Amino acid sequence: MSAALMETPAATGQHNWEVDPILTVEHLTMRFGGLVAINNLSFNVGRGDITALIGPNGAGKTTVFNCVTGFYKPTEGRIVMRHGPGRQQEAVDKLTASGFKWQKAQDSAVFLLERMPDFEISQHAKVARTFQNIRLFGGMTVLENLMVAQHNMLMTASMFTVGGIVGLPSFREAEKGAVEKAKYWLERVNLTSRADDPAADLPYGAQRRLEIARAMCTEPHLLCLDEPAAGLNPRESAELNEILQYIRKEHETSVLLIEHDMGVVMEISDHIVVLDYGVKISDGDAQHVRTDPSVIAAYLGVEDEEIEDTPEIASLVVEALGEEAAVEAGIEVPPSKDGDRP
Amino acid sequence: MSATTMNPANAAAAERNSFQSSVKDAALAALLAGVLGFFFLGLRTDIAPGGLALSTRWSLWLTAIAIVFGGRLALNLFVFKTDRPVTGLLSVFTSRAGAATAGWGWWIGRLLFAIALFLPFIIMQMFPSQQRQLIDLAILIMTYIMLGWGLNIVVGLAGLLDLGYVAFYAVGAYSFALLSTHFDMIGFWTALPLAGLLAAFWGLILGFPVLRLRGDYLAIVTLAFGEIIRVVLLNWYDFTGGPNGISGIPKPTLFGMEFVRGDDGVAAFLGLEFSTIHRFVYLYYIIFLLAIITNIVTLRLRRLPVGRAWEALREDEIACRSLGINTTNTKLTAFAIGAMFGGFAGSFFATRQGFISPESFTFLESAIILAIVVLGGLGSQVGVVIAAVVMIGGIEMLRNIGFLQAVFGTGFDPTQYRMLIFGLAMVGIMIWKPRGLVSSREPTVVLKEKKKIGADMVSQGEGH
């Protein structure tokens, strides 16, 4: 499998995620007691890219997320987050050697996420996330949810509450600005009419959108979405695509997402990383991953060789990936089965 | 049942049927009561010379059976087996009342404020014979309102269940008592902020170890903390006086003037005839002012980022951390600010009593304050006021009620059953209004239209 990796075009260094990565995960290992959830995983997230992390259930995708956002402390490995262009290799090396968590220069900064607690990662390194099982503040209104997301900015503006109690005009200004920003995002995710309703009252799809809006209110450089399309109907799924495209284009926010909906993944991702049993099995653009036999094997739960040998499995592959991809992957399309499918 | 509306004959038959089955059911229940009660009620063994003597109490037994039969029959006819149960009407009434109070919450708050503002004068006008007693009760209730509001920050807003809140009350009281007895220059008004600060400091001390704990574990540790403080106060004899407590705590002064008879007293200065009631009125206004400050600060904090972070913490701590909120600091501020108001109330308590001992700071006090907050509705300021009036006022009212003697006979002493009646009343309220008297939540920021958030949406935080 590793041999397949080396042959990817990434090795030549022409991809954005190689040249200008915002996040690099290096030799990440996470063990829970005897269980190795992630084993020596390395991948890059390109600046301005939409990167998808895919893999079968239990492959360790959410664990990667939890490591990146600080909810787990990785057993081994380094996770580097960069503000400002380029790899900044020198700064990263210096920071690693020192005991510090981050290092800021004029218009760039590097952060070692594995050294930082979760709230600092959001506050300083500007990595925001959403959750697989939606975590909104259900008893607070939609608008309040977005205000809580701007906590750190408002806290500074209120001079850590002292200025807020006496009602400083500068704090009132900041609060007005926060409401404006919340309104902007409400409009983007199409929830303006429900701004004063409790978040728990929203339908499922709207809750997903609100969670994304809330994450965006922290002004992240990297937005991590854990299965944003789970449970959405096709129309909502299309809306989500639009929102993600918009975020990437207008806000220069890079997106890292876990997703099972291959329609969403293939359509919007610039870069796909495939995990299976905590190991990276494929890494490249949509075209590359789609035709990678090891990916197909992982999704079907069989060995690589079996795919081509067994006609039943080959037909499943065709069903899952489409004829074109199957042909490209070197799998013969069994003609008889074709007509039966609706 | 839809058929009965079409055919009157059928309807009559159904009615007869339902009556018959009701009687049958009631008879069955009565039989059951008879069998179960036969040995408990019908027979009685007394110690007699040479062994036990058996006596019978048939009348008691038959009365019990009759009560069960009658009660079951009434329930069957009016509740269980009828189209329009009486309880349905009741629930319609209560839900209507609930909706009305939600809209009237603002007015109720204003009305209560106005009453509280003039309460001493109202009492003096209407009950001149009992004025001292009643103003004292008002002071007590106001103290509990303030404590409830203070605890509401920790439990209601931040959602951290604190069973040891009385510890901060004790810290405030002892701070003032010790400072004033050791240093002559420290009076009530100088000691008040110091007591608040010391209590806040102890709030932080408690906060640090319990930050990692959640739910029930947090409750247990806070409970233990409350007991530790009390036991230390009880046993550190040289410093706190142990069980003897501290006496001779100075009374509060008005701009340096004391409430005494004579030329340098407040009465003489204001040109009033001296009366002991003046001091009580003054004490009432001190605690009223402190409580109002607590309320204003709490309401203000709710609209500030820190207050919103408290509520967010109650809703979902993990989401809070994902948004860059330092949950450690947020919890600590909640503990410290809640403790500070407890400390203020404590030093007021010390100056009012003039004497304090560890006995005043038992777990029961914590439980009562928590009960006020829970009964009033977590996070609701008006709810705390109503609950405090009902609970503290109710307990006091139960001290002297004669009418129960008419019901239970002259041998009945209501004070002995005070806590039992009180407990039953609490159980009743909690069954009827499980989320407290005022359970809806008001949003802190509004875009277009302010809508109340129902209690079923609002999470109760950890350990509830």
The predicted model gives B28-54 an average pLDDT of 83
User: Same structural domain for residues B73 and B165?
Assistant: no
pLDDT score recorded for residue A210: 92
User: Same structural domain for residues B172 and B38?
Assistant: no
Reply yes or no on whether the pLDDT at A340 is more than 50: no
In a domain, B221, yes or no: yes
User: Same structural domain for residues A7 and A89?
Assistant: yes
Determine the angle formed by the axes of helices B86-126 and B131-151, rounding to 10 degrees: 120
The predicted model gives A250-278 an average pLDDT of 84
The answer to whether B459 contacts A144, with C-beta atoms less than 8 Å apart, is: no
User: Same structural domain for residues A191 and A150?
Assistant: yes
User: Same structural domain for residues B44 and B159?
Assistant: no
Tell me which chain B residue has its CA closest to the CA of residue A66. B322
Reply yes or no on whether the pLDDT at A202 is more than 80: yes
In a domain, B408, yes or no: no
In a domain, B359, yes or no: yes
Distance from C-alpha of B345 to C-alpha of B240, rounded to nearest angstrom: 19
| Residues of B with Cβ-Cβ distance to A81 under 8 angstroms | none
Name the residue facing B315 among A120, A137, A214 (closest C-beta).
A137
pLDDT score recorded for residue B142: 92
| Residues of B with Cβ-Cβ distance to A148 under 8 angstroms | 308-309, 312, 320, 323, 325
CA distance B396 to chain A (A): 36
pLDDT level of residue B81 (50, 70, 90 thresholds): low
pLDDT score recorded for residue B317: 87
pLDDT level of residue A329 (50, 70, 90 thresholds): low
pLDDT score recorded for residue A318: 63
Rg (CA), chain A: 22
Q: Is A143 on the interface with B (CB under 8 A)?
A: yes
By mean pLDDT, which of A219-228, A299-308, B23-32, B63-72 is the weakest? A299-308
By mean pLDDT, which of A74-78, A233-237, B85-89, B342-346 is the weakest? B85-89
Q: Is A62 on the interface with B (CB under 8 A)?
A: no
The answer to whether A120 contacts B322, with C-beta atoms less than 8 Å apart, is: no
Reply yes or no on whether the pLDDT at B55 is more than 60: yes
Name the residue facing B457 among A143, A164, A201 (closest C-beta).
A201
The predicted model gives B288-307 an average pLDDT of 90
Best-predicted range by mean pLDDT (A82-86, B77-81, B84-88, B400-404): A82-86
In a domain, B402, yes or no: no
> Tens digit of pLDDT for each residue in B211-232?
778 778 888 888 998 899 899 9
- Closest to A213 measured CA to CA, from A128, A154, A140, A153: A128
CA distance B301 to chain A (A): 7
pLDDT level of residue A116 (50, 70, 90 thresholds): confident
Name the residue facing B457 among A123, A131, A138 (closest C-beta).
A138
The predicted model gives B307-326 an average pLDDT of 90
Q: Which of residues 151-170 of A touch B (CB under 8 A)?
A: 151-152, 154-155, 158, 160-161, 164-165
The predicted model gives B96-108 an average pLDDT of 57
- Please say which residue of B34, B54, B89 terminates a domain: B89
Residue position matching structure tokens 């700064």: A91
Range of the domain at B44: 13-89
Distance from C-alpha of A190 to C-alpha of A239, rounded to nearest angstrom: 10
ipTM (interface pTM): 0.81
In a domain, A250, yes or no: yes
User: Same structural domain for residues A214 and A316?
Assistant: no
The answer to whether B323 contacts A218, with C-beta atoms less than 8 Å apart, is: yes
Tell me which chain A residue has its CA closest to the CA of residue B448. A196
User: Same structural domain for residues B158 and B79?
Assistant: no
| Residues of A with Cβ-Cβ distance to B441 under 8 angstroms | 139
In a domain, B379, yes or no: no
In a domain, B161, yes or no: yes
- Which of B304, B327, B331 to probe the A interface (max A CBs under 10 A)? B304
Q: Regarding predicted confidence, which is higher, B72 or A104?
A: B72
Backbone dihedral angles phi then psi of residue B366, each to the nearest 5 degrees: -55, -45
pLDDT score recorded for residue B93: 52
- Which of A144, A168, A225 to probe the B interface (max B CBs under 10 A)? A144
User: Same structural domain for residues A213 and A244?
Assistant: no
The predicted model gives B164-172 an average pLDDT of 91
User: Same structural domain for residues B332 and B259?
Assistant: yes
User: Same structural domain for residues A72 and A2?
Assistant: yes
Find the Cα–Cα–Cα–Cα dihedral A237, A241, A247, A253, rounded to 10°. 100
User: Same structural domain for residues B137 and B187?
Assistant: yes
Q: Is A101 on the interface with B (CB under 8 A)?
A: no
The answer to whether A136 contacts B443, with C-beta atoms less than 8 Å apart, is: no
- Centre a 10 Å sphere on the Cβ of residue A261 and count the other Cβ atoms it contains: 17
Size of interface A-B (CB pairs under 8 A): 139
User: Same structural domain for residues B84 and B119?
Assistant: no
> E strand or H helix at A5, and its extent?
helix A2-6
- Please say which residue of A218, A242, A272 terminates a domain: A218
pLDDT score recorded for residue B367: 87
Reply yes or no on whether the pLDDT at B146 is more than 90: yes
Range of the domain at A205: 138-218
The answer to whether B446 contacts A131, with C-beta atoms less than 8 Å apart, is: no
Tell me which chain B residue has its CA closest to the CA of residue A154. B305
Best-predicted range by mean pLDDT (B82-96, B301-315, B405-419): B301-315
Average pLDDT, chain B: 81
Tell me the percentage of chain B whose pLDDT exceeds 70. Answer: 84
pLDDT score recorded for residue B451: 77
The answer to whether B308 contacts A148, with C-beta atoms less than 8 Å apart, is: yes
- Closest to B56 measured CA to CA, from B75, B43, B40: B43
In a domain, A67, yes or no: yes
Cα–Cα distances in angstroms (integers) from residue A134 to residues A147, A203, A261, A302, B327, in the given order: 18, 12, 17, 33, 19
pLDDT score recorded for residue A82: 86
Reply yes or no on whether the pLDDT at B24 is more than 90: no
> Tens digit of pLDDT for each residue in A126-147?
899 999 888 999 888 999 999 9
pLDDT score recorded for residue B149: 92
User: Same structural domain for residues B81 and B111?
Assistant: no
In a domain, A106, yes or no: yes
pLDDT score recorded for residue B443: 81
> Tens digit of pLDDT for each residue in A172-181?
888 888 899 8
Q: Is A319 on the interface with B (CB under 8 A)?
A: no
**What is the residue-wise DSSP string for B171-189?**
HHHHHHHHHHHH-TT--HH
The predicted model gives A199-217 an average pLDDT of 90
Q: Which residues face A258 on adjacent strands?
A: A53, A226
In a domain, B80, yes or no: yes
Reply yes or no on whether the pLDDT at A29 is more than 50: yes
How many structural domains does chain B have? 2
Average pLDDT, chain A: 80
Determine the angle formed by the axes of helices B381-388 and B277-302, rounding to 10 degrees: 150
Ramachandran area for residue B327 (φ above 0: left; ψ -120 to 50: alpha; else beta):
alpha
Do A277 and A301 touch, CB atoms closer than 8 A?
no
User: Same structural domain for residues A183 and A259?
Assistant: no
CA distance A46 to chain B (A): 22
CA distance A243 to chain B (A): 20
Q: Which of residues 174-193 of A touch B (CB under 8 A)?
A: 179, 183, 192
In a domain, B416, yes or no: no
Reply yes or no on whether the pLDDT at A4 is more than 50: no
CA distance B17 to chain A (A): 45
Q: Is A229 helix (H, G, I), strand (E, B) or coil?
A: coil
Reply yes or no on whether the pLDDT at B52 is more than 60: yes
Q: Is B311 on the interface with A (CB under 8 A)?
A: yes
Distance from C-alpha of A300 to C-alpha of A56, rounded to nearest angstrom: 9
User: Same structural domain for residues B187 and B281?
Assistant: yes
How many structural domains does chain A have? 3
Q: Is B458 on the interface with A (CB under 8 A)?
A: yes
User: Same structural domain for residues A196 and A319?
Assistant: no
The structure tokens listed for B198 are: 């010391």
Distance from C-alpha of A298 to C-alpha of A277, rounded to nearest angstrom: 9
CA distance B298 to chain A (A): 10
